[in-house]
Amino acid sequence: MVFALTTFVGAVVGALVGATAKKFNFEIDSQIVISRLKLTILGIALGVSFAFLIRIRFSSWDLQVAYAILCSGLILQTMIDALTHQLVRSVTHLIGVTGVLFLLISAIRADSYGSIVAALVCALASGFLFAVINKIAPGGLGGGDVRLVPVLGWYLGFLGYNEPVWAIFIACLSASVIGVSLIAVGRGSLKRRLAFAPYLTLGTLVCIFLGDRLPRVFS
């Protein structure tokens, strides 16, 4: 029963994410040609996979809801950014607001206010860092990336101080490797901006589900 329910919820949410990605991609750039069916199938596959991962990773309903919304939002933003090099501000805001709400509920229920302090510190620190980077190197990061990072810092900081550090490192490293590889094969250039949201998503998801296996930066 639990297996069937998890599969059903993941499939429904994934299908909605795929259909929504198609809608936003068309609104941003109507010249983009991509099948709604392909995005929907991809969304369903990812939705079911992450539904099980979240159920395994988190035991309380409030954390399951919070991180399910985060994963859904990140998948959606990745689909959009990969095709348009833009992020949807309303999606970032939705992820942020629901994250504040459900993680506060979780902290109150578990009497774990230190997690909220860590989440707030990481959100502010990561947001400041990327705002400075964007100021120093205009065009290197999009405004959507700068808005998304503190939201991710909030979610990851709730899990601990190590997770945001590793997430940023993984995102920057993977983006650098892919960028250099594209230049090496003649499919990229130093002047071409790389969609960064997919790499932020990669770093975030690795740290959510495998963060306890990474070396500790902070004790």
Q: Let me know if residue 219 belongs to a domain.
A: no
Query: What digits encode the pLDDT tens for the residues 141-182?
Result: 778 899 999 999 999 999 999 999 999 999 999 988 888 887
Q: Let me know if residue 164 belongs to a domain.
A: yes
Domain of residue 97: give its range: 2-213
Q: Let me know if residue 19 belongs to a domain.
A: yes
Q: Let me know if residue 218 belongs to a domain.
A: no
Tell me if 18 sits within 8 A of 42, measured CB to CB: yes
The candidate with the shortest Cα–Cα distance to 119, out of 101, 93, 144, 133, is 101
Query: How far is Cα 131 from Cα 129, in angstroms, rounded to an integer?
Result: 5
Q: What is the pTM for the complete model shown? A: 0.93
Q: Count the domains in the chain.
A: 1
Q: Let me know if residue 65 belongs to a domain.
A: yes
In this predicted structure, what is the pLDDT of residue 141? Answer: 76
Mean pLDDT computed over 28-35: 83
- Neighbour tally for 140: CB within 10 Å: 12
Q: Compute CA distances 166 → 123, 161, 173, whole Å.
A: 14, 9, 10
Q: Let me know if residue 67 belongs to a domain.
A: yes
